Chains A and B, each alone.
Chain A
Amino acid sequence: MTTELSAPTADIADYAIRLGDDALILAQRLSEWSANSPEIEEDVALLNIALDLLGQARSLLAYGGGFTERSEDELAYQREERSFTNVQLAELENGNFADTMVRQLLFSAYQLPLYTALQASADQQLAAVAAKAVKEVTYHVEHAATWVVRLGDGTELSHDRCQAALEAVWPYHHELFADDELAGRIAEAGVGPLPSSLRARWQDLVLPVLGEATLTVPVDGWRPSGGRAGLHTQPFGYLLAELQHLHRSHPGAAW
C-alpha cells in the first residue's frame, strides 16, 4: 500500500514492528491450515483471519520500517530469527484443531483490548490502523470463542483434547502482559497501553468462555517469555524458512 506516512520515532517504530510481527507470524501459522481444515468453511474462516492479520501486519510493518527506511518486504523476508519481536504465543505450532482455536482465543482476546486502547493513541497512524483492526478482531474473538465452547462442551474426546490444548498453550499468555522498558516509554508518551493494563479485560473475555466450555483454568506455573527480545521457540526457525525461502532464493521476487 502506498498510504502517505510520516516517519515514526525510533520507539514508535520498534513498537509498531512488535505488533506487526505478532500479526505476521500468526497469519503465517494460520495459513498452514489451508486445505487442511476439518471442513471447508473452516478453511475459509482460518484463512480469512490470517488475511486480516496479514493486512494489519502490512500496515504496521510498513509504518515501523519507515524509521530505518526498510520496506514491509525487507522486514518480513530479510530479518533473521533474533530480529523478530513477536510473542511466542503467535509462533506456537498449530497442533490439532483445538490447539489452534485455544491459541486464537487467547491471542485475539489480547488484540481486542489492545487495539481498542490504541484507537486513542497519540500517534495518528497507529490509531488509524487500530480503528480498522479492532472491528476485524471482534469477529476473530467470536469465532474462536464459538469453537472453544463447541469443542470443550462437546464429546468426551473433544473436551479432553481442548483441555489438553489449554494446558499446553496457557503458559504462553503471560508474555502478552509483560511490561518492559520500551512498553513503559510507549505508555508514558500516550502512544500505547501498558501490556499489564490489558490483562483484566482479557480475563473478562476469556474466563467466561472457558467456563461455558466446561474447561478448567490451568494452574499458573511455567511462564515462558523472551519473544519481545528476539528469543523464540525451536519451531520458529522452520516457520521462517518457509516464509522466507522464496524471497531468499529469488531476491526481489515480486508478483
Chain B
Amino acid sequence: MTAVELEQLRAAAAEVPDPEIPVLTIAELGILREVRRGPDGQAEVVLTPTYSGCPATEAIRADVLARTRAVDPQARVVIELAPAWTTDWITETGRHKLAEFGIAPPQPTRGPVGLQLGRRIVACPRCGSEDTEEISRFGSTPCKALRRCRACAEPFDEFKSL
C-alpha cells in the first residue's frame, strides 16, 4: 500500500455519514482517528466510539467497509478506545453543520469533565436566544441532551460536552 493509496482510503472512509446525526461525516465527528498499515501490512481504518455503548459503532464499521472496498477490498476496521474521544475533536465545519441542523454544538471541555451542578448557558440553535433550559440531561442518543428555548418555545437537542 502506497501513501497515495492510504490517502485514497482515508478520503473514502471520511465520507461516511454518522448514522444517528447524518449531517456529520465520521471525520467531522472526530471518530475517524487514523488510516494506517497494520503489523501484517494490511490497511487499517481506526475508529473510536463516542460512548462505550454507542450502538452505531457496528453500523459505522459496515458503512466504512462498504466505501473502502472499492479502494482496497482487504482493508479492515479497527476500534480503539484510547485515547478516549472528546467532543473537542468535532471539527469547525462539523460544529457549523450541527447548528444548521438544529443541534446546539458542544461547549469546549476543560480538561476532565467536572461536576456541573450549576447552570450552563446554551444558545438556541434556531433563534439564538440564550434563555434556554434543560429538559433532560439525556436525549434521543447518548451524545445529546434535550433543551427548550424560552424565547421561541422550540425544543432542541444539545450535543453534550464530553
Contact = CB atoms under 8 A, between A and B. Distances in A.
Interface of A: 1-4, 41-42, 44-45, 48-49, 51-56, 58-59, 116, 124-125, 127-129, 131-136, 138-139, 141-143, 145-146
Nearest to B87: A135
B79 A2 contact: yes
Contact of A52 (B51, B80, B112, B116): B51
Most chain A CB within 10 A, of B82, B83, B85, B86, is at B82
Contact of A55 (B54, B117, B135, B136): B54
Interface of B: 49, 51-55, 57, 78-86, 112-117, 135-140, 142, 146, 160, 162
Nearest to B160: A139
Given A139-B160, A142-B115, A145-B117, 19 more contacts: A4-B80, A41-B136, A41-B146, A45-B137, A48-B142, A51-B51, A52-B51, A54-B53, A58-B52, A58-B53, A129-B81, A132-B52, A134-B113, A135-B84, A135-B86, A136-B142, A139-B138, A142-B116, A143-B138
Contacts, number: 97
Contacts of B54: 55
A127 B53 CA distance: 17
B142 A51 contact: yes
Q: DSSP majority for the B interface?
A: loop
B112 A134 contact: yes
B24 to A, nearest CB: 19
Contacts of A53: 53
B91 to A, nearest CB: 20
Contact of A138 (B79, B82, B83, B113): B113
B41 to A, nearest CB: 16
B112 A51 contact: no
Nearest to B50: A132
Given A51-B55, A55-B51, A135 B162 contact: yes
B81 A3 contact: yes
Contacts of A138: 113-115
Given A138-B113, A142-B116, A49 B51 contact: no
Contacts of B81: 3, 59, 125, 128-129, 131-132
Nearest to B161: A135
A132 B160 contact: no
B117 A142 contact: yes
A131 B82 contact: yes
